[in-house]
Amino acid sequence: MEEQVTDQEEKTKEEISAVTREFSRDAPPILHLLVVGFHHKKGCQVEYSYPPLCPTSPSESHECPEMWKNLPSLAMPDGSHNFVEDTVYFHLPSMAHPGKTVYGVSSYRQIEAKMLSKKTADITRSTVQKAVCVLSNLPLYGHIQVKMGLITEAYFREGDFTQFMLLHDAYNNLNMCLNPDLLNSTQAIIGLPLREMLERFGHKVVQLFKLILLQKRVLFFHSPVRPLSTSILAMLALFPGVVESGLDNCTALASQPESVLAETVEVPKQFIPPPDEEPVGTSSSQNQSSVYNGLTEKLSSWKDKLAGGTKSAGTPPCVDTTDDSKVSRESSFEDLRAPTAQEMENEKSGRISPSIVAGLPNEDCGLPLQLFGNGYLCHPYLSLSYLDLLTEPNIHGYIVGATNVLFKQKKSLFDVIIELETGRIDIPDPELRRQLELTKEDMRFADHIVRLVVQDRTSNTFLDGVGWEGGDEWLRAEFKTYLLFMLRTSLMDDGCKYLDEFNPAFIQAWKATNNYTKWLETTHPAVLELHPGHMFSGQLSISDVKLKISQITQTMQNTEKGRKISNAAASTSRAVAQTSKVVGGAITQAKGAFSSWWSTFHTQPTEATEEAEEALGPNGMRMSDIDLTE
């Protein structure tokens, strides 16, 4: 008996040692390449793994490590039998480095059994469903998916699922062509539909951007999985550096120690330069330093242009909460002011180009923000098997994607439910709706990016995405600039007028989050050089009213109240257009047309209020905020 126990202990130590070697720093970019199939009696299961998931088991073993027991249900998503093909991006916790993330890409196919040249005993149905899956150390989702699509197509074309040499060759090929340097290029976001997502949600993208900063419990719902998982990652790609390096700890629970969370991403040995060579990061840091110096010179030149035109006369200064030791009051940037919407439309106004501000090095700005880790999770797709995971007490917030309707029915697990197909954002909590309400400056920013992206995609289909404005990198630059000005403004004292431009309720809630607390722990010189305020600050105009009405009608367009709002907006526009100067009778007529409808809107207060609140809830906007007298 004693001898049997000793043998068992030795076997356990051998397995642990083998797993550790597999996930050591000598591990290649691709950890495993798997085949997951659907068995008519056992359900989804791993049919083959190279290298084996459990080192002591054969490659054909169906066993999965305990931490990855739900891997088959992720590779073959819920409802996959309804689709001929699909792609899934998912995350798993690392077995050797607790708190770290392993990135999964699964390519699913369904074909008729009669197309196979060799049938095995487990094929008893008229169709065959399988997925070829990759587990990687690097978050190169789209880059891997393109190659996996070709590999899966070739594997199915063979007609014989016992021919595994193709998978061995694919594993070796992927490890030869993937390396961490790709994360520093556009390859990190290739295949992520940034502009398609903007067209789907429109102005509400800015609202979603702010929602992610609040680290709430968010569910994205859609089927099939590919547009679901890619849209979630595309939304995260708007945050500088998050997709590239901000998901390293996105499976870490709150109970795991901070020392583990601070570990760096493991780098394959073949990509580590020898001691006598210059490290890759050295030249990169020097280049970023030179770029930053060049940017400061450009920003200094903007200061001279903007000193007289963009600074409001007679405006009482706000109190800055940053320490004098962190930033000099005599900085050459102290008069730099975020441009107004009118200045943006006029090239001679001297608007600071977002490409200049967005070019500031991330490390000098405290980016990427630590949106995930230590109890804040990100799963682009979760199967039904993971539903209980969300009830764990050491999970504080998450962004997850699901296709199973049972997730939507568990409303108590989510603060926000987003339906991808309709673009509806359901926010039951009135306080959260108030925090996510867009200011007039936010609305201008949203209109600016939506207008340019849609214009870029419709003006010339052949050259779609080729130009800078309206492209993916341009869109990321715009949101980085927006985030940097918002970070700078958040350092101001409560009551400062600049906070109103980003919604004080949102700023207050954001300051209480884990990611903002982490960002505030260190100084960020590049952010401190910016003047607080919004990129699109300026006086209220009739265009702002039309923008807000437009957003309201998007959620009420199929209701009677929505049609009344549209008619009121049209009447107001016609009244203003009758005169070149909005004075006297014209403004009276415009206000009269709007007020006439507004009074009828309140004739049935109970019914109107209930319907308006239900319709406007997702957008978090109220008609009472519109004031034509300003």
Q: Please check whether residue 22 is in contact with residue 51, taking contact to mean a CB–CB distance below 8 angstroms.
A: yes
Q: What is the 3-state secondary structure (H, E, C) of 376-442?
A: EEEECCCCHHHHHHHHCCCCCEEEEEECCHHHHHCHHHCCEEEECCCCEEECCCHHHHHHCCCCHHH
pLDDT at 462: 43
Q: Please check whether residue 400 is in contact with residue 390, taking contact to mean a CB–CB distance below 8 angstroms.
A: yes
DSSP state of 224: S
Q: Measured between alpha carbons, how far is residue 333 from residues 218, 304, 306 in Å?
A: 39, 10, 11
pLDDT at 226 over 50: yes
pLDDT at 201: 93
Strand pairing class (416-419; 217-221): parallel
Least confident range from 17-21, 89-93, 510-514, 584-588: namely 17-21
H-helix segments, 557-583: 560-577
Q: Which whole number is the average pLDDT over 119-124? A: 68
pLDDT at 404: 94
pLDDT at 459: 57
Backbone φ and ψ of 610, nearest 5°: -60, -45
Q: Please check whether residue 374 is in contact with residue 254, taking contact to mean a CB–CB distance below 8 angstroms.
A: yes
**CA atoms of 344 and 302, how far apart (whole Å):** 14
pLDDT at 541: 58
Beta bridge partners of 377: 398
pLDDT at 615 over 50: no
3 or 36, greater pLDDT = 36
Least confident range from 298-307, 376-385, 390-399, 590-599: namely 298-307
319 or 318, greater pLDDT = 318
pLDDT at 413 over 70: yes
pLDDT at 578: 58
Q: Which whole number is the average pLDDT over 464-471? A: 68
Q: Which whole number is the average pLDDT over 438-458? A: 86
**CA atoms of 532 and 377, how far apart (whole Å):** 31
pLDDT at 253 over 50: yes
Q: Which whole number is the average pLDDT over 557-576? A: 57
pLDDT at 121: 66
316 or 380, greater pLDDT = 380
Under the banding of pLDDT at 50, 70 and 90, the label for residue 367 is very high
Q: For the chain, give the mean pLDDT.
A: 75
CA atoms within 13 A on the CB side of 369: 26
Q: How many CB atoms lie within 10 A of CB 622?
A: 15
Under the banding of pLDDT at 50, 70 and 90, the label for residue 498 is very high
621 or 356, greater pLDDT = 356
Q: Which two tokens stand for residue 202?
A: 């429109």
246 or 599, greater pLDDT = 246
Q: Which whole number is the average pLDDT over 455-476? A: 69
Tens of pLDDT, residue by residue over 15-36, are: 444 344 344 445 789 999 999 9
Under the banding of pLDDT at 50, 70 and 90, the label for residue 267 is very low
Percentage of residues in the chain having pLDDT higher than 90: 46
pLDDT at 571: 66
pLDDT at 2: 46
H-helix segments, 180-277: 194-201, 204-213, 225-237, 242-245, 258-261
605 or 55, greater pLDDT = 55
pLDDT at 257 over 60: no
**CA atoms of 575 and 591, how far apart (whole Å):** 9
574 or 346, greater pLDDT = 574
Percentage of residues in the chain having pLDDT higher than 70: 62
Tens of pLDDT, residue by residue over 502-513, are: 999 999 999 999
pLDDT at 341: 41
Report helix, strand or coil for 270. helix
CA atoms within 13 A on the CB side of 163: 16
Q: Which whole number is the average pLDDT over 407-428? A: 95
Q: Please check whether residue 74 is in contact with residue 80, taking contact to mean a CB–CB distance below 8 angstroms.
A: no
60 or 235, greater pLDDT = 235
32 or 576, greater pLDDT = 32
Q: Is 92 exposed, middle or buried (0-12, 13-18, 19+ CB in 10 A)?
A: buried
pLDDT at 177 over 80: yes
Q: Which whole number is the average pLDDT over 361-382? A: 95
DSSP per position, 93-109 = E-SSSTT-EEEEEEEEE
Backbone φ and ψ of 444, nearest 5°: -65, -45
pLDDT at 290 over 50: no
Q: Which two tokens stand for residue 492?
A: 């101001």
pLDDT at 349 over 70: no
pLDDT at 560: 55
Task: Tell me which amino acid residue 328 is.
Answer: S
pLDDT at 305 over 70: no
- Output the pTM of the full model: 0.73
Q: From the CA atom positions of the chain, what is the Rg in Å?
A: 27
pLDDT at 567: 66
CA 378 to chain centre: 10
Task: Tell me which amino acid residue 435 is.
Answer: Q
C-alpha angle 93-380-418 in degrees, rounded to nearest 5: 140
What share of residues in the chain are helix, strand, coil (percent, to 5)? 50, 10, 40
Beta bridge partners of 129: 110
Q: Is 132 exposed, middle or buried (0-12, 13-18, 19+ CB in 10 A)?
A: buried
